[in-house]
Amino acid sequence: MNAVTPVPRIAVVVVAAGSGTRLGGALPKAFVGLDAHTILRHALRGVFAVAHETQVVVVAPREFVGDARTDAEEAAGSRRELVSVVSGGMTRQESVAAGLAAVWPDVEIVLVHDAARALTPPDVFDRVIEAVDETGWGVVPVLPVVDTIRRVSGSEILGVVDRSELAAAQTPQGFRREILDTAYRVADREYTDDAALVAAAGHQVATVAGDARAFKITTPADLERARSLVAVHPVPAVAGAAAAGAPRVGLGTDVHAFGGDGVLWLAGLEWPGEPALSGHSDGDAVAHAIVDALLSAAGLGDIGSRFGTSRPEFAGAHADVFLAHTRGLLGAAGWTIGNVAVQVQTTRPRFAARREEAERTLSAALGGASVSVSATTTDGLGFPGRGEGVAAFAVALLLPA
């Protein structure tokens, strides 16, 4: 089995090179603790829980590059090959530029994120990525402004600003890579954020919904707020991480219709002479049900969110790719696979002769974990009985590694 690590087409630049003057601590802001973990480590926990796989570039103060690498590698788990750490500049803009220089050549979309927004939920990243994919524009997560805003001069009030026209910009802000690169190259002054810099270079910028939890830790009061949020809702080091000692079960089902191109792939095997199933990948309902069962046991979402149609590298992929990638996600979250049982309902192909071969193939793709495969017909009833398609049902047991 070849365990494929696709090159991500998305990168997140996490800027953490500021000093934190307004916070006034002894350490640079990103290295201040929220609990046992630093602000940076919390920020990276969110980044590594994003459904899309991303390169992660951390920009740290020069003397803290080593500390940043430790935080980043802990947050990355088995995905540490996705992490780069570089040193930053005097201003945020210089730090972002330093991070951009470390983005891999094939990356198409870049998100820039403030480490200081340590508690940003992963779905904000996913929203930004999807909006950049759809529009090609720059994308900024925003919150409506709730306070009444007044224009003032010293202690004098000059007027009230219509707050329906205002929105508070957050990060991560996302851009097509070539747009962000060029905008940074031509920028001739300091801008308030990346979206302002990109807009000044003449590009469109749109908004998506931000999240109150994405607030920026700026003052000691913000730090208190972040610390109490972390204390009330302790977060695992990695999304879906193994809870101390407890095994977990998961359930997955999948259905594919016959009518695809080429030859049938089912349960990780090629079936010459049998009609193909249709689907974004090879339509292998047995493998997909197993992936869903494993992800559900770990609480890591489902096959749609991890391998969806926005991931061209999985188009046409076979079971070995899906299963090996899933096993990597589980390993990063601290799980090993106890066993998997899958049942397929179909009239064809006849499974009996190749059942054990299917078990060996699926097991090998999961690093040797026990996989049992059973097959049944449905007495002519329903779509499997009419030969229109295949249904598969899987359960999985995960054990803390």
CB of 153 to ligand CTP, least distance (A): 24
CB of 21 to Mg ion, least distance (A): 7
Our finding on whether 29 is near ligand CTP (CB under 6 A) is: yes
Our finding on whether 55 is near ligand CTP (CB under 6 A) is: no
Which residue's CB is nearer to ligand CTP, number 18 or number 349? 18
Our finding on whether 89 is near ligand CTP (CB under 6 A) is: yes
Alpha carbon separation from 360 to 137, 155, 323, 354 (Å, rounded): 47, 77, 13, 10
Q: Which partner in ligand CTP, Mg ion, none is near 226 (CB below 5 to 8 A by kind)?
A: none
Residue window 198-227: x/- pattern of binding to ligand CTP, with contact defined by CB under 6 A: ------------------x-x---------
Our finding on whether 170 is near ligand CTP (CB under 6 A) is: no
Q: Which partner in ligand CTP, Mg ion, none is near 124 (CB below 5 to 8 A by kind)?
A: none
Q: Tokens at residue 275, please? A: 């009609």
Task: Give the one residue of 37, 92, 203, 306 binding ligand CTP; rule: CB under 6 A.
Answer: 92
Our finding on whether 250 is near ligand CTP (CB under 6 A) is: no
Q: Which partner in Mg ion, ligand CTP, none is near 141 (CB below 5 to 8 A by kind)?
A: none
Our finding on whether 78 is near ligand CTP (CB under 6 A) is: no
CB of 44 to ligand CTP, least distance (A): 12
CB of 295 to Mg ion, least distance (A): 39
CB of 42 to ligand CTP, least distance (A): 12
Distance from C-alpha of 44 to C-alpha of 41, rounded to nearest angstrom: 5
Task: Kindly compute the dihedral angle of the four CA atoms of residues 317, 318, 319, 325, in this order, to the nearest 10 degrees.
Answer: -30
Plot region of 34 (φ>0 → left; ψ -120 to 50 → alpha; else → beta): alpha
CB of 193 to ligand CTP, least distance (A): 9
CB of 103 to Mg ion, least distance (A): 22
CB of 95 to Mg ion, least distance (A): 10
Give me the amino acid identity at 222. Answer: D
Distance from C-alpha of 341 to C-alpha of 396, rounded to nearest angstrom: 7
Name the residue among 347, 382, 342, 376 with its Cα closest to residue 358: 342
Our finding on whether 19 is near ligand CTP (CB under 6 A) is: yes
CB of 29 to Mg ion, least distance (A): 9
Residue 230: CB atoms within 10 A of its CB come to: 18
Q: Helices 122-135 and 39-48 meet at what angle, rounded to 10?
A: 50
Answer for the pair 344, 362: CB distance below 8 angstroms, yes or no. Answer: no
Name the residue among 31, 54, 55 with its Cα closest to residue 43: 31
Per the omega criterion (within 30 degrees of 0), is the bond before 312 cis? no
Which residue's CB is nearer to Mg ion, number 28 or number 279? 28
Task: Identify any residues that bridge with 33 across adjacent strands, giving them in sequence order.
Answer: 38
Alpha carbon separation from 182 to 41, 90, 186, 189 (Å, rounded): 30, 21, 6, 14
Our finding on whether 90 is near ligand CTP (CB under 6 A) is: yes
Task: Give the one residue of 3, 6, 22, 228 binding ligand CTP; rule: CB under 6 A.
Answer: 22
Distance from C-alpha of 251 to C-alpha of 343, rounded to nearest angstrom: 12
Our finding on whether 87 is near ligand CTP (CB under 6 A) is: no
Task: Give the one residue of 21, 148, 153, 155 binding ligand CTP; rule: CB under 6 A.
Answer: 21
Please list, residue by residue across 344-377, b when 16 or more beta carbons sit within 10 angstroms of its beta carbon and e when fewer do: bbbeebebeebbeebbebbbbbbbebebebebee
Candidates 13-21, 48-56, 240-248, 275-283; binding stretch for ligand CTP (CB under 6 A): 13-21
Q: Which residues bind Mg ion (CB under 5 A)?
A: 18
Residues in contact with ligand CTP by CB under 6 A are 15-23, 29-30, 59, 88-92, 95, 114-116, 216, 218
